[in-house]
Structure 1
Amino acid sequence: MNTVVFRTIWLFCLIAYCGLIYLLSDQPVLPVPLVFNMQDKLIHATAYAVMAWLCWHAGRAYMSKIVLLVATILFCAFFGASDEWHQSFVAGRDASIYDWLADVFGALLLTLALWKREVVVSNRK
């Protein structure tokens, strides 16, 4: 497959994933059993790490590494903020700054890891 097809697939996956997060946030209750304290923060961080992964790969052909780093973190942070705002209108859900911070933390960690990997790989060449 050519590069344009891969770029389109990454972008489609990112859009679909954002749609999935929106649909899950629109549910009054999610059937997730509580296994340990602060589990929801780990779920938030993981979900936004996945979003960062998709965002990074969707944009990597269009931006420099440092711009992609900032764009990925900002995209995930703004989407997370809009998602928390959205949840404030859903019966049974509430908006939480701590959930948003977990979103940003997950996106930040994964994005920094991807950026570091790119820098190391490009330095080896």
Structure 2
Amino acid sequence: MWLTLLVVYCGVIFYLSHQSSLPTPRLFPHQDKLFHATAYGILGFLAFAYFKQLFAELRTALIIALVFSALYGASDEWHQSFVVGRDADIFDWFADCLGATLVISVMKRFSAKKQTTIQ
């Protein structure tokens, strides 16, 4: 199930990134960074949930989920460089990585507590 959700969500990110512009009300400066962090926080959640099923070691799942999220974010920024009206932005990628890192770290902490409680 997690793999299906992860693949579908990657497709959603790709689709949205392929749009020339997305209608969003301007609420505050640099709000796009918050959108990036949120979107990639969700991606990190799905990636960690999936990789946690594959690997017994939580640390391994965490590292692979982080690398996956960062690489997908980098490929998404590169993809946007070919879309009319969009551009690649290293700070968007930083926001992607930050969002994924925060969510995955929280998930690892809860997963570790759950394992400790079970033992």
- TM normalised by structure 1 equals 0.91
- What CA distance in whole angstroms lies between the structure 2 residues aligned with 1:42 and 1:12? 25
For 2:40, the equivalent position in structure 1 comes to 48
Aligned counterpart in structure 2 of residue 71 of structure 1, from 57, 64, 86: 64
User: Over residues 16-60 of structure 1, what are the superposed CA-to-partner deviations in whole Å (9 max), with x where a residue is unaligned?
Assistant: 000010010001101111111121000000000000111111121
- What CA distance in whole angstroms lies between the structure 1 residues aligned with 2:49 and 2:18? 27
- What CA distance in whole angstroms lies between the structure 2 residues aligned with 1:58 and 1:115? 13
Identity among equivalent pairs (%): 43
For 2:102, the equivalent position in structure 1 comes to 109
For 2:9, the equivalent position in structure 1 comes to 17
**Structure 2 unaligned regions, length at least 5:** none
- What CA distance in whole angstroms lies between the structure 2 residues aligned with 1:13 and 1:119? 23
**Structure 1 unaligned regions, length at least 5:** 1-8
- What CA distance in whole angstroms lies between the structure 1 residues aligned with 2:81 and 2:68? 20
Aligned counterpart in structure 1 of residue 112 of structure 2, from 119, 122, 125: 119
Count of residues in correspondence between the two structures = 117
For 1:82, the equivalent position in structure 2 comes to 75
RMSD: 0.8
